Amino acid sequence: MLTLLFLVALEPTKVLVVRTSTPTYEAFDSAFTRELTYEYENFDIQSLKVKRKHGFQEFTDQLRSMNPQVLILVDRWSVALYRSYLRQYPPTNTDQPAVILLFNVRLDQDMTMVPNATGIRYNIPAITGITNLRSITPGIDRVGVIYRPLWEWRFLEEAKLSEREGVKLIGVRVAKDPTNSELRQAFKKLKKLDVQALWIFNDARILKPDQIRDIWHPLSRRFRWPVVVGVENLATKVRLGHLAVYPDVEGLGIQTASMVVELEESRWDADKVSIQLPVSVRKFFNGKYWPKRRQLNVQALSQEFDEIKNVKR
């Protein structure tokens, strides 16, 4: 009897990571697994790689056979899989894993549809990027934002946070699926409202390739606004943002490992583990189209940013 109890006590905690196969998610998974297994031995971590819009049966088989205590859903497609699973297999109070949502730009909305869930926000607060912008160029206290009705709640939250730091976010709301003409009018309105910089939502509905090419690129440069984004590729591949502040992928892995331990200590009750902001961020600066005649503190830039391109030093 004592031997049986001892074996039960040693049974590892099961963690299932569900994600698509991308370099970013591979790096996260590697950092997460390394951190959790290095610090704590009694974990069985498995990763399920699924293709977007596919993989429901594979997901179902893995979840039912493994029966993990923790389910980590990486991006919104993994959440969609789990929601489909819950519709087919409604949970009981005794078989719900603790769920962690990651890389999810609509975390708050998705959490209302997933039981026993917590997560780490992927969106970095606007004021974080704006504060970094103010550290390298003076006189920024009025920042323009273009947003759709879906994101009005977040714009209001961001505005409150920014106001505490002496920054006024000035928003222009556009339609649910805005035309290029409407976006152009939003830019002109922000110009009349005398904004000094632009902060961009990570919202694909207002950042379609033709909109970036025909509206965002030419008008932000014409109006000579520094542009702050929260996604790396908007500053690197698309070259829309001058400054990008985004979650550090390896840091997210380490932070998620700590969250799993918190969940274990709370006996898998996710309500006792609050949603968190990323504790580690990376800062990228691209000076390719930096506004003419706007001062740039190169020394502060060199000290504070992880990667800098197209700046003479």
Looking at the fold, whether 268 and 298 belong to one and the same domain comes out as no
Q: Tokens at residue 271, please?
A: 């309500």
Radius of gyration of the chain measured on its C-alpha atoms:
22
Looking at the fold, whether 117 and 255 belong to one and the same domain comes out as yes
CATH number at residue 291: 3.40.50.2300
Looking at the fold, whether 259 and 221 belong to one and the same domain comes out as no
- What are φ and ψ of residue 28, in 5° steps? -60, -50
- What are φ and ψ of residue 144, in 5° steps? -85, 145
Structural domain for 26, as ranges: 2-122+248-272
Looking at the fold, whether 31 and 81 belong to one and the same domain comes out as yes
Looking at the fold, whether 89 and 187 belong to one and the same domain comes out as no
pLDDT in tens, 136-172: 999 999 999 999 999 999 999 999 999 999 999 999 9
Looking at the fold, whether 175 and 62 belong to one and the same domain comes out as no
Query: How far is C-alpha 281 from the chain's CA centre?
Result: 11
Looking at the fold, whether 228 and 263 belong to one and the same domain comes out as no
Residue 313: band (very low, low, confident or very high) from pLDDT cuts 50, 70, 90: low
Residue 297's SS3 state is coil
Mean pLDDT of 44-54: 88
Looking at the fold, whether 53 and 159 belong to one and the same domain comes out as no
Q: Judge contact between 278 and 255, C-beta under 8 A.
A: yes
Looking at the fold, whether 253 and 185 belong to one and the same domain comes out as no
Residue 290's SS3 state is coil
- Residue with token string 């990651």: 102
Mean pLDDT of 237-259: 94
- What are φ and ψ of residue 224, in 5° steps? 60, 50
Residue, of 90 and 152, whose pLDDT is higher: 152
Residue 22's SS3 state is coil
pLDDT in tens, 57-73: 999 999 999 999 999 99
Looking at the fold, whether 34 and 181 belong to one and the same domain comes out as no
Lowest mean pLDDT among 35-39, 84-88, 97-101, 241-245: 35-39
Looking at the fold, whether 14 and 108 belong to one and the same domain comes out as yes
Q: Judge contact between 282 and 128, C-beta under 8 A.
A: no
* pLDDT value at 221 more than 60: yes
- Residue with token string 């974990």: 43
